[in-house]
Chains A and B, each alone.
Chain A
Amino acid sequence: MSSQNNVKGIVKQFITDNYLVASGVDGIGDNDSFMEMGLIDSTGILELLEFVEEAFTIKVDDEEVIPDNLDSLERLTLFIERKMKHADR
């Protein structure tokens, strides 16, 4: 789980399984905005946070719940990697 590809793959699988099918969206690019695609609503974001915290054993603080950190596969992957690095220290 240490490489970016692994993190991204796990997150992508979760997004695909839980949001893409329900939204009738065929695929998602690394930089596509979840918000602009209408993939994630108010309960969806809570679901995503719970998944991320559990799967990668990190704690996401309220002030970190912003689009800059979470609103695409790329942003989310980088954010998780940053959090995991901090947790390792």
Chain B
Amino acid sequence: MKGFDMTEFHKDVLKIDCEAEIDRISEFINEQVRLMRREGAVIGLSGGIDSALASELCVKALGREKVFGLVLPEKESNIVSKVFATKQAQKLGIETETVDITPALEGLGTYKRRDEFVKQTFPEYDPSCRIKITLPPDLLERDAFNIFTLTIDDGKGNQKSERLNKSVLNGIVAASNTKQRTRMVCLYYYAEKMNYIVCGTTNRSEVVQGFFVKYGDGGVDIEPLAHLYKIQVYQLSEYLGVVKEIINRPPSPDTYTYEVSDEEFFFRMPFDMLDHLLYAWENDVPVDDVCSVMGLKEDQVMRAFRDFNSKAKSTEHSRNMPPSLF
């Protein structure tokens, strides 16, 4: 990696010129639609900030008549997700359709298969319990491996947590990922029918660490947010006037019945801290300089860098084309 000029790393290093950035991304979207010989863009509206921003940018680039929003809830989605997604679509004046993917997931056995794995850890589990999977909190404060913990809550004050073993973790993740992959199938149905592209919503903080599902939310035609850190997604969203409830909502994978934030599920620290450290790691900023700008100790910065390295390495295959002899 190139040597780093310290003048480039400071607390405002991730502040962007919103107007110029919007123009740049709009031009990119327009060009890609033209190059792929399509007529517009389909976007899955989750009720979260990334898809809301992507929808704003698609409308800027293509006009509201050329953007189609798909709302794809399932029985375990947070009920506000659909409400916020619809509100964002109404604000933009784009055409939308809501498709409940629960029957498709039931056909695939998503819930049944996942529950069977949950029962291997908690035999007393029944589907009325809420579940979530989390990583240890406070990455910067203490050394801890990325060990996933499963928590079940019966809604009557009884909560149990247990470290997952590999086969149960893989089983739960494999079943849960069918949710994102089913959404991808739906998005492509509408995109092909309309001769539109599928617009992705993954941001840089997610891309670099592999926080997306291969051939799920990662299965798209373009990724107009992939160069933006999450806090830059917030800057642009504020600037473009994304629906307030979406901006104020804590980011969540919205995949498990027990509400879990992206921070609990994967990132292990708040986005403001995460994004600056990620930028420093990606750009080889000397650790001493990171410490002085961020007010952190060396071991805290090293913990974060180790975590980024581990996640980036283990998810490298998700960012690459399938290896072949082609």
Q: What is the interface of chain A, defined by CB distance below 8 A to chain B?
A: 23, 35-36, 38, 40-47, 50, 62, 65-68, 70-71
Contact = CB atoms under 8 A, between A and B. Distances in A.
Contacts of B148: 42, 46
B306 interface: yes
Contacts of A35: 145, 306, 310
A66 B163 CA distance: 13
A67 B145 CA distance: 7
Given A36-B306, A65-B147, A67-B143, A41 B164 contact: no
A64 to B, nearest CB: 11
Contacts, number: 59
A41 B166 contact: no
A35 B146 CA distance: 10
A63 B142 CA distance: 12
Contacts of B306: 35-36
A68 B309 CA distance: 19
Interface residues of B, number: 21
Given A66-B144, A70-B145, A46 B164 contact: yes
Contact of A41 (B142, B143, B149, B311): B311
Contact of A46 (B142, B144, B169, B311): B169
Contact of A43 (B144, B149, B169, B309): B169
B169 A45 contact: no
A66 B164 CA distance: 16
Q: How would you classify the secondary structure of chain A's contact residues: helix, strand, loop or mixed? A: helix
Nearest to B161: A62
B120 interface: no
B304 to A, nearest CB: 12
Contacts of A38: 309-310, 313-314
Given A66-B143, A67-B143, A67-B145, 10 more contacts: A23-B313, A36-B309, A38-B310, A40-B310, A41-B311, A41-B313, A42-B310, A47-B166, A50-B165, A68-B143
B165 A46 contact: yes
A36 to B, nearest CB: 6
B175 to A, nearest CB: 16
B1 to A, nearest CB: 16
26 contacts: A35-B306, A35-B310, A36-B309, A38-B309, A38-B310, A38-B314, A40-B145, A40-B310, A41-B313, A41-B314, A42-B146, A42-B148, A42-B314, A43-B169, A44-B314, A45-B145, A45-B146, A46-B148, A46-B163, A46-B169, A50-B166, A62-B163, A65-B145, A66-B144, A66-B145, A67-B143
Given A36-B306, A38-B309, A38-B313, A43 B147 contact: no
